[in-house]
Chain A
């Protein structure tokens, strides 16, 4: 699935990023604690989070995550936006709750983007 399709499913506003249809999404990691993202996320996943500061973007950059989707109507702060633009990391925002956002993506067949996936 590509990021454009993910954006449509979650009714996202695109805050940073061009040609999001060209970004392939391998799975989903949903977390507000960046330590958990750093410990468990697979590269190529998309991050769903409610953490809107610059650490969400640095974590994404460091862990080779393809994009951040802020849930619950959260918006990234100015520093996060600036770094995402510098690094070319797409930032999207959805008004859905974390639970519903994950549920919708799971229903559409997008799998677990972490090492914690059950069988």
Chain B
């Protein structure tokens, strides 16, 4: 029964709302802990989720996060409405960043976000349309 859905929930993120940035990831971490995933799996999921949440907060107008968990894997999907990413290959390079000084002031924008999300995921898929938004689909195996 490894594909039995243990949990599903949708969350929303408001772009530019830096004061609550990270709250979705904090909640998701608590949920995963309650379900009982291994701490190292939870850590990878929480790190990937937090980086992605910060990206939506920093670059999009709004976004939706869908968390689904089965005994075998954690899947987190992000869908945002925003500026999108013109060159995904370039954005995936460590150190490449289009962050503003305001983003750096809150400790982000080092150009490590997307590569770090990929590093912590077993499956990683990103698509984006300039002027429309970005979709990110990640899976962390239990």
Contact = CB atoms under 8 A, between A and B. Distances in A.
Interface of A: 32-36, 38-39, 43, 51, 53-56, 58-59, 61-64, 79, 83
Given A51-B107, A59-B107, A35 B51 contact: yes
B108 A35 contact: yes
B71 to A, nearest CB: 22
Given A58-B26, A62-B25, A62-B47, A36 B110 contact: yes
Interface in B49-72: 49-51
Contacts of A32: 107
Contacts of A83: 26
B21 to A, nearest CB: 7
A96 B13 CA distance: 37
A55 B108 contact: yes
> In terms of DSSP, what is the predominant structure of the interface of chain B?
helix
Interface in B15-35: 19, 21-22, 25-26, 29
B133 interface: no
Contacts of B39: 43, 64
In this complex, the member of A33, A54, A58, A63 whose beta carbon has the largest number of chain B beta carbons within 10 angstroms is A58
A38 B22 contact: no
Contacts of A63: 43, 46-47
A38 B43 contact: no
B106 interface: yes
Given A35-B112, A38-B50, 4 more contacts: A36-B110, A39-B115, A51-B107, A58-B50
Contacts, number: 68
Contact of A39 (B25, B26, B112): B112
B116 interface: yes
Given A35-B113, A38-B50, A55 B106 contact: yes
Given A35-B113, A58-B50, A53 B106 contact: yes
Q: Which 9 A-B pairs have the closest CB atoms?
A: A34-B107, A58-B22, A35-B110, A35-B112, A62-B46, A39-B116, A33-B110, A39-B112, A51-B107
Contacts of B84: none
A33 B101 CA distance: 12
In this complex, the member of B19, B22, B25, B46 whose beta carbon has the largest number of chain A beta carbons within 10 angstroms is B22
8 contacts: A35-B107, A53-B106, A58-B22, A62-B22, A62-B29, A62-B47, A62-B50, A63-B47
